[in-house]
Structure 1
Amino acid sequence: MHDDDTQGDIIRLGSARKTGFLKRWLWRLVLVIVLFALLPYLLLPLYRPTFVHPISVPMFSRLVTVSGYDRQWVAFEDISPVLVQSVMMSEDGQFCNHHGVDWRELQAVAQDAFSGERARGASTIPMQTVKNLFLWNDRSYIRKVAELPLAIAADIVWPKKRIMEIYLNIAQWGPDTFGIEAAAQAEFGISASDLSRRQAALLAVSLPNPDQRRASNPSGLMLKLAARVERLGRASGSYITCLYD
């Protein structure tokens, strides 16, 4: 009986050690997940100063794979206002009026989805910015859930002008072209400060599909979309008061 008790104690001790080991690793895993989820919020204030030039997840992935990319950071003041107008009116017309998320547009998209209508985008510029900087690129609900509070936090921490500056410098305009300065040089051979209204509109409408749409070689659809963006841009004065005095 004594030998049986000793053997039982050894088995229980081994089981307890195994359980403790699993608990420790489970807590470590939870801690890593929590820190990973909090990291973007910790980086937001570090990205506020204008001398900081952050890179996006797609840019970082190209560095890891040694495929490289073309990006030339340009200050907001050195970007043609017609480009800013065109991008805002094409991507997020209520940019100056919402606080990171356009809840009215998001609700309209949800209603369309429930009624079986074709899905349309509701991403604001802050949402696209935090997605490019911190998240992955797919249409999963998990990413959207992570994106919403991050966009709100970014709108709190960063001034509107800084949000737009970061967005225009990390947005993808071609397979390996990031940022408006590199895009203007690649498509039209000029600086972002010298873009005309038509060139700006063509660049703006190429953003949703940068791998296939070329601003310097627009399709009929792109020309039609660009003409609309031009009209909206000319009338955008009251919409861009948060960026220009």
Structure 2
Amino acid sequence: MTDGTPKKTRGWGRPILIAFVVFALLPIGGVLSHAVAPPLTTLLMVGRAVGGSGLDYRWRSLDDISPRLVDAVIASEDARFCEHRGFDMKAIRKALESNAEGRKVKGGSTISQQTAKNVFLWPGRDWIRKGLEAGYTVMIETVWGKRRIMEVYLNVAEWAPGVYGAEAAAHHWFGKGAADLTAAEAARLAAILPSPRRYQAADPGPYVRRRASRVQAAMGTVRNQGLDACVVGSRS
């Protein structure tokens, strides 16, 4: 007796199941490994390097990066970083309401989302990538925690063409290590993050100077209100 299923069809069952399991486990394995080990490289780094931008990527522990830079990127990129679980629902609602009214606003992407995209995915705005980004964001928030997310973010973000991570950025723009950044220098680095291939931190134009001034002022609020406590701990 047979079940009527052709042998060739039945023969595909096991390989398909194995492929599905492998496909499902690869993202989990990547998240678990990068919880303790630095990414060797990212798709963005490889793509930029192939395109001729070069590659300067220097990993540093969060303890070797100035806390001023932590305050600067929280002030600039994600003021509720320590409050949310990967997605800033207030910013998302505001963006949806504004888009419905025909007004263009910042999309509300958090540091956690940017980290997920930078480490595991490719540049772009397609829905497949956004869906994967959401999944990775949930996983790194669950497995890594806030301090590790910030550490990875500061190390893989692009700060100039072919320049990745706070250490490489500090040397590229200011000729010093990331641990020695001043508040003004940290604010300038945060100010160019949205368009690091367009703007300069060392000799900024009027736009970056104005933006950096606002970021530096907001850094005081980050410190005073403990908005960075999930990364640097409480301040006495």
- Confirm or deny a common fold (TM above 0.5): yes
The aligned counterpart of 1:180 is 166
1:126-176 deviations in Å (ceiling 9; x for gaps) = 100110111121122322222112112111100211110100000001111
Report the equivalent of 2:3.
none
What is the CA deviation profile of residues 2-50 of structure 1, one whole-angstrom value per residue up to 9, with x for unaligned ones? xxxxxxxxxxxxxx89xx57x949x75x97577446522221111112x
Match of 1:42 among 11, 22, 29: 29
2:124 to 118, 133, 138: 138
CA apart distance, 1:200: 0.5
Please name the residue that 2:74 is paired with.
Answer: 88
Report the 3-state secondary structure (helix = DSSP H, G, I; strand = E; otherwise coil) of the residue aligned with 2:56.
coil
Partner of 2:217: 231
Partner of 1:222: 208
Cα distance change of structure 1 residues 97 and 62 upon mapping to structure 2, 3 Å threshold: same
* RMSD, aligned α-carbons: 2.4
- The structural deviation recorded for 1:90 is 0.5
Partner of 1:9: none
1:222 alignment partner, SS class: helix
State which structure, 1 or 2, has the greater radius of gyration over its C-alpha atoms: 1
Gaps of 5+ in 2: 1-5
Structure 1 pair 142/214, CA: closer, same or farther in 2 (3 Å)?
Answer: same
Aligned length: 223
Query: Unpaired segments of 5 or more residues in structure 1?
Result: 1-15
Alignment TM-score, normalising by the size of structure 1: 0.83
CA distance in 2, matches of 1:201, 1:62: 25
Map 1:95-114; keep pairs closer than 5 Å.
95-114=81-100
TM-score by length of 2: 0.86
Change (3 A) 1:186 1:101: same
